[in-house]
């Protein structure tokens, strides 16, 4: 049986890339719901229905375990899938999300006090990260920032350039403004310039890219943010977390086949998928179109 990786589109490929680099022995099926992406600003009902259909499709293709490599779907659909759907319909299969491992990774950063989190509107509004972090790391202050323009820019191949820089600067400025207004000692904070990027981090010491598309523009983000801010991506978090999960669940691990294969499915045109997937993975991809 295989490991399935599902995302609303291309973004999950950043997670897939890290998982496969760490665990190359297993067989993988990646499914991108490109025909219905982005999920970021859709309703709970729509995201749940889409996620359920995609997970079912991966189960039909002999996936023992499905990683929902999409923050928006993890935030809105994972719990219901795990608690209501799996016990009744697929008691021998597992679905894992990427929010909990990310929150645990943040909790383990001993020198971090205030973390900023960039995500889609859906992820931010779900409050999933603040709730997970409240359990895993109650000492952390969390600054959430919705970045609705970043996914469309990435999907259109704008991986660097002035349009992208404009929005990164805007979202960083807004992040700093939120941090300043949340701080109880706002007077002690340096002033935030009205335009341009502040030299100050307003107490923020780490930024989690809590949307699977954002690692693709990490170089621009890194260039614009002050160098003292740690920038965390989810591939580097989820891959060791999956390895650890498989060690703790030999009944799942032993059901997995090991020929090192990878297969790519998309709900939209394969040409577009193959082209952008190549950007994400750095090698040629031949995907198959699936209808949902
Ligand atoms: N993959 C989604 C996430 O990580 C972003 C793309 C979308 O909005 O569908 O939240």
Residue 266 has pLDDT above 90, yes or no: yes
CA distance 57 to 141: 39
| Domain spans in the chain, listed from the N-terminal domain onward | 2-97+236-289, 100-234
Instruction: Identify the CATH class of 100-234.
Output: alpha beta
The per-residue pLDDT of the chain, averaged, comes to: 91
User: pLDDT tens for residues 22-66?
Assistant: 999 999 999 999 999 999 889 999 999 999 999 999 999 999 999
> Which pLDDT does position 112 carry in this prediction?
78
Measured in angstroms, how far is the CA atom of residue 44 from the centroid of ligand 1?
14
Joined together, the tokens standing for residue 113 give: 């006090």
User: pLDDT tens for residues 219-242?
Assistant: 999 999 999 999 999 999 999 999
Strand segments (E) across 24-108: 28-32, 63-68, 94-96
What lies within 8 Å, CB to CB, of 108 at 6+ separation is: none
Joined together, the tokens standing for residue 243 give: 């390895």
Beta bridge partners of 206: 115, 230
Beta bridge partners of 3: 28, 65
The answer to whether 211 is a known catalytic residue is yes
CA distance 230 to 52: 34
Within 6 A (CB) of ligand 1 lie: 7-9, 11, 37-40, 70-72, 120, 123, 151, 211-213
Catalytic residue among 63, 147, 202, 211: 211
> Which pLDDT does position 285 carry in this prediction?
96
What architecture (CATH level 2) is domain 2-97+236-289? 3-Layer(aba) Sandwich (3.40)
Query: What's the N-to-C CA distance of the chain in angstroms?
Result: 21
CA distance 210 to 292: 27
What lies within 8 Å, CB to CB, of 79 at 6+ separation is: none
Q: Which of these, 41, 2, 69, lies nearest to 215 by C-alpha position?
A: 69
Q: Which protein residue has the closest C-alpha to ligand 1 atom 1?
A: 70
CA distance 13 to 7: 8
Residue 184 has pLDDT above 60, yes or no: no
Measured in angstroms, how far is the CA atom of residue 244 from the centroid of ligand 1?
25
User: pLDDT tens for residues 87-139?
Assistant: 999 999 999 999 999 999 998 887 778 999 999 999 999 999 999 999 999 98
> Tokens 């007077």, residue?
187
Catalytic residue among 54, 70, 147, 202: 70
CA distance 226 to 197: 9
Grade residue 182 by pLDDT with cuts at 50, 70 and 90.
confident
In Å, what is the CA distance from 212 to each residue of 16, 46, 281? Answer: 10, 19, 13
Same CATH fold assignment for domains 2-97+236-289 and 100-234: yes
The residue ranking higher by pLDDT, 109 or 191, is 109
User: pLDDT tens for residues 171-180?
Assistant: 999 999 999 8
Q: Which protein residue has the closest C-alpha to ligand 1 atom 5?
A: 211
Grade residue 189 by pLDDT with cuts at 50, 70 and 90.
very low
At 247 the three-state DSSP class reads: helix
The answer to whether 70 is a known catalytic residue is yes
């Amino acid at each position: 049986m295989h490991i399935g990786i599902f995302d609303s589109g291309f973004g999950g490929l950043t997670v897939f890339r890290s998982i496969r680099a760490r665990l190359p022995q297993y067989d993988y099926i990646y499914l991108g719901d490109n025909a219905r992406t982005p999920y970021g600003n859709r309703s709970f009902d729509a995201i749940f229905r889409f996620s359920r259909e995609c997970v079912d499709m991966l189960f039909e293709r002999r996936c023992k375990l499905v990683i929902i490599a999409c923050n928006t779907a993890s935030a809105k659909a994972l719990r219901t899938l795990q608690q209501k759907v799996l016990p009744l319909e697929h008691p021998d299969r597992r679905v894992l999300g990427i929010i909990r491992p990310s929150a645990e990774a943040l909790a383990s950063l001993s020198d971090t006090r205030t973390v900023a989190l960039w995500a889609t509107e859906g992820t931010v509004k779900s409050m999933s990260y603040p709730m997970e972090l409240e359990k895993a790391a109650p000492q952390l202050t969390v600054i959430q920032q919705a970045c609705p323009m970043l996914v469309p820019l990435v999907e259109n191949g704008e991986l660097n350039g002035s349009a992208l820089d404009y929005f990164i600067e805007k979202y960083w400025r807004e992040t700093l403004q939120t941090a300043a207004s949340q701080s109880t000692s706002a007077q002690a904070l340096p002033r935030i310039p009205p335009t341009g990027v502040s030299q100050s981090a307003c107490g923020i010491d780490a930024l989690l890219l809590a949307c699977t598309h954002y690692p693709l523009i990490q170089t621009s983000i890194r260039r614009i943010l002050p160098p003292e801010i740690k920038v965390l991506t989810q591939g580097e978090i989820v891959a060791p977390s999956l390895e650890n999960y498989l060690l703790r669940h030999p009944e799942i691990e032993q059901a997995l086949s090991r020929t090192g294969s990878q297969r790519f499915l998309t709900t939209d045109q394969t040409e577009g998928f193959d082209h952008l997937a190549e950007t994400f993975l750095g090698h040629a991809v031949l995907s198959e179109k699936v209808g949902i």
